[in-house]
Structures are given as structure tokens and as C-alpha cells.
């Protein structure tokens, strides 16, 4: 940890407020992508899929770029963008989890059943003994809509770590300054 503390970086903007606002918009964008898939007769079969991951990545990149553009002189360190991206991702995952509750309860009542079928089929194809598979499937059969919404929100939060890292690498403009060692 001593190595990390040797670097000095400044926070130039109000990333917390921006991340809350932009995270809510990113979560709504993920929900809109899910609704669009439903409209084109391709309803989602799992609370997380490539469509939601791609929308999260694009939204994180877009909002990180927009955040950097609003800063004075466009100066931003990796640390600030990483904190911004992580908070954005957490807020987006909460909004997406709430959206999944709405989606499965109102828009697509077969969502939870499709998720269960998809995960059972995957478990049956997977490795392991028949007893292990049967035990896992028995647990999956107890899952309700709120469980699938939590799985979607949790997976989105985990993916947001990677998208935050990517956006921070792409859009940083300042290099950290190395502090002199204290003797």
C-alpha cells in the first residue's frame, strides 16, 4: 500500500453528484434496451446478458467522456474517473434491479419462468454429479422475481467495475505525480 500512497492526484470536479445523476440515466438506458428487446420480440431470458453489458459499457464511456468535458480544462486523473465510474455503476445497477422488478411484475410476467428455464438448462449441461445438479436445481426453483432482480443488479454492479476501469483508462488526461519519499 505504501507504493500506492506515493502518488498524488487531485479531484477536479464534483464526481459524486454527476455519478448519481448519470448512474440513474445509465440504469434507465439499460432498462430501455431490455424494453426494446421485448418490443422486437426478443425478450430477455436472463437478468443479465450481452445486451445489458454492452449498454452499460457504452453508457459508462459516454458519461465519463461527458464528465471530463465539463471539467475545467478537461483535466482529470485516473482515480477520479475510477471513483466516478464505480459510483455510476452502483447507481445504475440499483436502478436496473428496480427496473427488473417492474419489468417482471408488469411488462413481462413470464420473465422469472424464462430465467428459471434458462438456468436449469445450463445447469443440466454443466459438469458435476446428478445429485449436485439436482440440489442446485432445487434451490433455483425457490427463486422468485426479486431474486432474479437481485441477480441482475449484482451482476451489473460487478460488470461496472470493469467498465469503470476501461473508461478511466481511456479518458484520463493527467498522469499522477510521484511524491518524494519521507525519510
pLDDT in tens, 117-142: 888 888 888 777 878 888 888 888 88
CA dist 159 and 15 (Å) reads 20
Domain that holds residue 21: 14-176
H or E element in which residue 7 lies: strand 7-8
Alpha carbons 90 and 84: distance in angstroms, whole number: 10
- Asked if pLDDT for residue 167 goes beyond 80, the answer is yes
- Within a domain: 101: yes
Residue 9 domain-assigned (yes or no): no
Q: Is the pLDDT reported for residue 13 higher than 90?
A: no
How many structural domains comprise the chain? 1
Above 50 in pLDDT, residue 7? no
Q: Is residue 5 part of a domain?
A: no
Per-residue pLDDT reduced to its tens digit, 45-61: 788 888 999 999 999 99
Question: Does residue 161 form part of some domain?
Answer: yes
Q: Is residue 4 part of a domain?
A: no
Q: What is the pLDDT of residues 29-42, one digit of tens each?
A: 999 999 998 888 87
**Domain assignment of residue 76, yes or no:** yes
Q: Tell me what pLDDT residue 60 has.
A: 94
Q: Is residue 1 part of a domain?
A: no
Amino acid at each position: 500500500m505504501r507504493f500506492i500512497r506515493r502518488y498524488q492526484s487531485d479531484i477536479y470536479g464534483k464526481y459524486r453528484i454527476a455519478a448519481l445523476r448519470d448512474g440513474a440515466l445509465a440504469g434507465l438506458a439499460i432498462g430501455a434496451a431490455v424494453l426494446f428487446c421485448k418490443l422486437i420480440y426478443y425478450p430477455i431470458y436472463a437478468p443479465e446478458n450481452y445486451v445489458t453489458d454492452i449498454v452499460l459499457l457504452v453508457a459508462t464511456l459516454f458519461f465519463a467522456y461527458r464528465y471530463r468535458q465539463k471539467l475545467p480544462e478537461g483535466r482529470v486523473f485516473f482515480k477520479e474517473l475510477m471513483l466516478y465510474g464505480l459510483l455510476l455503476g452502483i447507481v445504475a445497477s440499483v436502478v436496473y434491479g428496480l427496473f427488473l422488478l417492474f419489468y417482471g411484475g408488469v411488462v413481462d410476467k413470464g420473465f422469472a419462468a424464462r430465467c428459471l428455464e434458462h438456468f436449469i438448462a445450463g445447469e443440466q449441461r454443466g459438469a458435476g454429479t446428478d445429485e449436485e445438479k439436482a440440489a442446485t436445481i432445487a434451490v433455483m426453483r425457490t427463486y422468485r422475481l426479486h431474486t432474479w432482480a437481485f441477480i441482475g443488479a449484482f451482476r451489473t454492479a460487478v460488470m461496472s467495475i470493469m467498465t469503470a476501469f476501461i473508461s478511466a483508462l481511456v479518458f484520463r488526461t493527467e498522469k499522477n505525480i510521484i511524491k518524494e519519499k519521507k525519510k
